[in-house]
Amino acid sequence: MSEQKKDLPQREAIEEKYRWRLEDIYSTDEAWEKEYLSVSEQVEKLKSLQGQLAQNSATLLQALQWQDELGQKMEKLFTYARMRRDENNSNTVYQALTDRITALSSDVSSQTAFLLPEILAIPDGTLQQFLQKEQGLALYRFALDDLRRQKPHVLSEKEEALLAQTSEVTQAASKIFTMLNNADITFPTVKDSQGQEIQITHGRYGQLMESRDRELRRQTFQALYHTYQGLENTIAATLGTAVKRDVVMARIRNHSSALERALFSDNISVEVYDNLIKAVRQHLPTFYRYVELRKKELKVEELHMYDLYTPIVEGVDWQIPYEEAISMVQESLKPLGEEYCTILQKAFQNRWIDVYENRGKTSGAYAWGPYGVHPYVLMNYQEKLSDVFTLSHEMGHALHSHYSYQKQPYVYAHYSIFVAEVASTVNESLLIHHLLKIEKDKTKRRYLLNHYLEQFRGTVFRQTMFAEFEKLIHHKVEKGEALTPEVLKSSYRQLNHDYYGPAMVVDEEIDVEWARIPHFYNNFYVYKYATGFAAATALTKRIIEDGEKAVGPYLEFLAGGSSDYPLELLKKAGVDMSTPGPVEESLALFEQLLEELATL
């Protein structure tokens, strides 16, 4: 545990080659400031067209083009400020920059709120004439058609302007939780079997829970969740506020539920969400067999929640330095072709990635970056096999963005969240297939199978449980019920009993796990991990079996951005997520892998 020192290093102590190069966005903070000050002029230019969009096609085109230019500039400003803050959340300079651009975003949204209702007020016949007359509008045809679809849920110009002014306030619950969870919260130290004190951090928690030292796992588990239990009233209030926001916004937008509103932007029916939960619940008996196998292999009388993450295969201390992880990822992704691998190499060489944990750094991992530059990846690398998969996962996101940025104009450059987890999970699937193909050592092979089954557990079963929890708590608020800590804990506890089955001891501490899940502040997001995993399973099978024949449509999917609805983009790549087929296919693979592990 070489990285598990009591105190995390300061940002400056991390070697430069392991820190992302945000200077590719703005060379200095002063350059950011200059662009920030230029926004008001661009907003005024756009506002000068207010009331004129229906007059002629040229004016409509100009408004759409200026809107794109403004959006691209705001995206650069926001990503730079936020990613600088993520380097060290206690840095007040970048806290201030993030606050300023967040406030400006709200103001810009308010001042440009006239665009949507004014475009929707253009009669259909007039809009069709504009499209025929103005060649430049052809680019915006799909976007304009999608706007017409949204018409029943768009308010008047005045109401939209008022609503836009509330955007910063409606994000308050998420912001408060982020600062509490990343900047203010402090976890206790625990002692390992040698008596060495280890400071628990977000980044280290996963590593500690994989430890073979069961007492260390138990201490870590209890210490972390007792910290959250001490904050359960505060975090219940922030989560409850976020859920109320979702419910209120759904009502304001004339949707029948918060869930329907969340799925509407992707043009996805509620049945897709419900079918996922139904399919996973039907396969829970197979998952119970995995839980029972874990209990047997760990040789414990009782299987506790803190026993879920340690590998069930003994004798494998697989520490993987970052440079080795890069080689593993590159080799595994060769089936995606030379072009893909060249871009991947460029990302590794040109400091797109922020690798190691430092004091104040945002926990976890993500891929993000502004159009017109390139994507970035935030990591908290700890030299575990799971970190190699995280690296592959986030590079999947990054290259998905890269392809979309390169092939799509700004209006279609940002892919839907529904397909966001597909490319990342294809990368992970290719990595596990590669490792299983080359690994001859029986113990390591069992270790890899265990890891792959854990991917299913964490991405399909666990995220679906999260999705069901989200649906449950939103439904409670829609019925007028309060989300007290007791309500949240009892609901969460019952779901853990349902999903993990009779072989699992559902420890009291896990009742408050909801308090540490940041995704719950981005409503109905997590189900997309499970659907994305299912789609990726089907696509990976095609890529491995059909080679170039499957790779071509897959890369076209990556380059599709949001130029079509997500289900349609996936159909073009060869997967139909409107049916339960891909979910069933992935769960059948889980059962197959479980059988192989049990046999070994």
Q: Where are the domains of the chain?
A: 24-170, 176-316+459-521, 322-445+547-574
Cα separations in angstroms, 122 against 57, 151, 229, 460 = 11, 11, 54, 44
Give SS3 for 356.
coil
At residue 92, the pLDDT reads 96
570 SS3 class: helix
Distance, CA of 407 to CA of 398 (rounded, Å): 14
Phi, psi of 445 (to 5 degrees): -65, -45
Alpha helical stretches, state H, 299-411: 322-332, 338-349, 385-407
Given 87, 394, 468, 513, the catalytic residue: 394
pLDDT computed for residue 160 by the predictor? 86
pTM of the full structure: 0.81
Q: Is 364 left (phi over 0), alpha (psi -120 to 50) or beta?
A: left
AA letter at 32? W
Identify whether 394 is a catalytic site residue: yes
Integer-rounded Cα Rg, in Å, for the chain is: 24
pLDDT at residue number 512: 98
Tell the CATH topology of 322-445+547-574.
Collagenase (Catalytic Domain) (3.40.390)
Residues of the chain with pLDDT under 50: 1-6
243 is written with which tokens?
A: 């859920």
How far the first Cα of the chain sits from its last, in Å, is: 29
Give the containing element (helix H, strand E) for 376: strand 376-378
Architecture of domain 24-170: Up-down Bundle (1.20)
DSSP 191: E
Mean of per-residue pLDDT scores for the chain: 94
The residues, any chain, with a CB within 8 Å of residue 495's CB and separated by 6 or more, are 465, 468, 469, 472
User: Do 105 and 167 meet the contact criterion of CB atoms below 8 Å apart?
Assistant: yes
Q: Which two tokens stand for residue 40?
A: 């008001």
- The H or E element that residue 111 is part of is helix 92-111
Distance CA 95, CA 104 (A): 14
- Specify the fold of 176-316+459-521: Neurolysin; domain 3 (1.10.1370)
DSSP state of 478: H
Per-residue confidence (pLDDT) for residue 2, from 0 to 100: 37
Q: Where are the beta strands (DSSP E) in 462-584?
A: 504-505
Distance CA 595, CA 591 (A): 6
Find the Cα–Cα–Cα–Cα dihedral 402, 403, 408, 412, rounded to 10°.
-70
Specify the pLDDT at position 444.
Answer: 87
